[in-house]
Amino acid sequence: MSDGDTLVSADETFALGFFSPGTSKNRYVGIWYNKDPTKAIVWVANREKPLTHSSGVLKVNSTGILVLLDSNNTLIWSSNTTRSAQHPVAKLLNSGNFVVQDDSNSNSDFLWQSFDYPGNTILPGQKFGRNLTTGLNWLITSWKSSDDPSQGSFSYQFDIDGYPQFVLREGAAKRFRFGSWNGIQFSGAPQLKNDSTFRFIMISNEEEVYYVYWLADSSVHQRLQVTSDGFSNRMSWSDGSSGWGTVSHLPVDDCDYYGKCGAYASCDTNSFPMCNCLDGFVQNTTDPSSGCVRRTSLSCNSSDGFVKFSGLKLPDTEGTFFNRSMSLEDCRILCLNNCSCMAYAALDVSKGPNGCLLWFGNLIDMKVLSASDDDIYTRMAGKDVEAIEQSRSQKSKKRKRKVIIAVSCVLSFGILILCLAYIIYRWKMNQKGKINEESESGAINSHHHDENDLELPLFDMCTITSATSNFSSDNILGTGGFGSVYKGVLEDGQEVAVKRLSKNSSQGHQEFKNEVLHVAKLQHRNLVRLLGCCIQAGERMLVYEFMRNKSLDYFIFDSDRGKLLGWPKRFHIINGIARGLLYLHQDSRHRMVHRDLKAGNVLLDDELNPRISDFGLARRFVGNENEANTKLIVGTYGYLSPEYIVDGLYSTKSDVYSFGVSVLEIVSGKRNRGFIHIDHNFNLLGHAWTLFTEGKCLELVDALIKDSVDLPEVLRSIHVGLLCVQRNPEDRPSMSYVLMMLSSEWALPQPKKPGFFIERDVVGENSSSSKNELLLSVNGLTVTQVCPR
């Protein structure tokens, strides 16, 4: 590439070429947003050694090393790749990652990638942290100025001296701490937990410790950047907009600056003064700038105790000790028996307090937070522990008395209002003669949900009968175990789908209540929308938006219609289903497990966007509940997870298993249940696993779409699908991690054997098993289970 040439990513999001920053005339090789009017730079190759003219050339040599040469063939910059390749190729990926790989082996790792050498920017899917094996430090450093991209004064990186934490430094001095990871969020940035614009995850093991994020909306572009004046910014830009906007920047306020209040003090911008000593500590009169000191010296024996502090950013973790497997009680004992230990906290709060984090020096850099999942237990002299607990108990009693008085007043007033409202309600009901209609809605009211609670329109029977031509058989869209679905046209011309509950189905009544009570408030682009219901004349009907293109199985399992869904559209559908499940599992007000995800329950709208439907078997999780148990196994065989069929346990990971099966079906165009192959008797999961282990994944791809596949995307989809159907639910990724894996280009973990790796006896005529039973092999465990549906 010569100066003036550009290399553009396949989706045209990023471009690589030569540029001059700001008012500078120096030339650099860099990557920028191609469609962005400002051409924001995200990576610079020769940031420390610019070209002084426009005659530079970028090459990849025969061994796979990138070199930047000037007009005299003098080396300006090199990628210094240590491994060689037979056929090296340099590519700019859709993620903004500039890579070199061996074209003779498309499945090989990258020989070199720009993502391993960030400048002042971290992009979605790019690792931000440390490789503990190779020593790679994925940090970002500021530019000196807008005209000079060479390394400036500020750096932002993972410090690994103690429990890993993000630290923004000016030179060697700490300026800001993001806080340590607690399994859910960073202790110093609880606002990220509820940020719906992007997703993030923290990976920490013996080989790597890093943070990576990705975006919820592909039309929005975001980047993390450390500026030349020392701020860490998250910038956002949408397709078609005129420029970038700042989503957030750190430090946020004065309390974010490192060590603002000194030792054993917390900082709160909403109080005056901002700095206040923790309970049991007093201002250091000798050196007020150093913070606080203990009111009573420690005895370093069993008389010492611990005081719990909540709602704080955890102190600086430099020099701390941590153990991931230790219980919190063992952590307390370990700290108490070590005179140097000043405090302890749980390392991971995602599944209750687990792990152990110990501090051995002064507790520095704490900030009061409005929302925090972390508690820290600070060592105190026994007499101070008793005094603090007594003081807190008295304050708690005073607060309770105030609350009781306030609640009593509110309840008294509320009861008066309810009585008046009830009298008025009864009068109106009698006036309008709707006593019968009231009894018709009893099924819903018995669950303490009236019409207003549902926020769902009620259609009368005449409207539904007219819309469906008196439930004409010509209008039937499909029939299931709980009744039939009819196409209808309302008076205003709106097309709808009417699900009519069968009067003979005992399970259908429960399904109806589930869909009304749970689905009414679900709003997401990848969930089918419930428009209303009808509960008159002994009927139970649900009115949904009409999906003209029917369901996903109508296309992918048909030899003619399957051609209409090429690979780009199938990959779009896979991502859409994943986003819908993520909403159900994590982002909706009522966290839910679908329990019957399959191609037949994924509808397609006019633009072939996927909409998850049929929530009759869905179950809601309350609070911190993560799994539940049932004796009634319901759902569709071929999609049910091993732990659900064998033990009746279901969780969000049960849906992940069903999603993995669906992904492999979408890729292959074959059903998991009933799959037949001439070379073996495995089901689709066993077949996919066998091909994966033999490096023959392309043989799994539906022959109808092979001409349209994007090789990296289809291989990654198969890989993710196999990760989702692993036997152990703890090995399966969450849906947030699934979305990240589908959209990123970094290496994925190796999947373990699928949960149902079945080799069946195809001689069904000689089997003595009843036709309504199914024999399943769960990696050695055999279970006979009556088929649900």
3-state secondary structure 182-194: CCCCECCCHHHHH
CA atoms within 13 A of residue 117's CA, in its CB half-sphere: 17
Measure the N-to-C terminal CA separation of the chain; round to a whole number of Å: 61
Q: Please, are residues 43 and 118 in contact by the beta-carbon 8 Å criterion?
A: yes
- Active-site residue, selected from the candidate residues 304, 596, 614, 702: 596
β-sheet bridge partners, residue 28: 19
What CA–CA distance (Å, rounded) separates 311 from 93?
A: 42
562-589 per-residue burial string, b: 16 or more CB within 10 A, e: under 16 = beebebebbbbbbbbbbbbbbbbbeebe
CA torsion sign, 360 to 364 to 368 to 374? Answer: negative
Nearest alpha-carbon partner for 181 in 128, 140, 121, 226: 128
DSSP, res 170: E
What CA–CA distance (Å, rounded) separates 100 from 9?
A: 14
What CA–CA distance (Å, rounded) separates 59 from 100?
A: 11
Q: Please, are residues 674 and 639 in contact by the beta-carbon 8 Å criterion?
A: no
DSSP, res 697: G
Nearest alpha-carbon partner for 149 in 29, 244, 15, 55: 29
3-class secondary structure, 493: coil
CA 539 to chain centre: 40
Six token digits for residue 322: 């941590």
* 674 contact partners, CB below 8 Å, separation of at least 6: 638
3-state secondary structure 45-79: CCCCCCECCCCCEEEECCCCCEEEECCCCCEEEEC
What CA–CA distance (Å, rounded) separates 23 from 146?
A: 8
What CA–CA distance (Å, rounded) separates 356 from 328?
A: 6
Q: Please, are residues 527 and 612 in contact by the beta-carbon 8 Å criterion?
A: yes
Q: Is 499 annotated as a binding residue?
A: yes
Q: Is 596 a catalytic residue?
A: yes
What's at 173, amino acid-wise? A
Nearest alpha-carbon partner for 100 in 130, 121, 79: 79
Six token digits for residue 411: 């309840």
Q: What are the distances in angstroms from CA 467 to CA 27, 462, 614?
A: 68, 8, 21
Enumerate the active-site residues: 596
Q: Which residues are annotated as a binding site for ATP?
A: 499
Q: Show binding-site residues.
A: 499
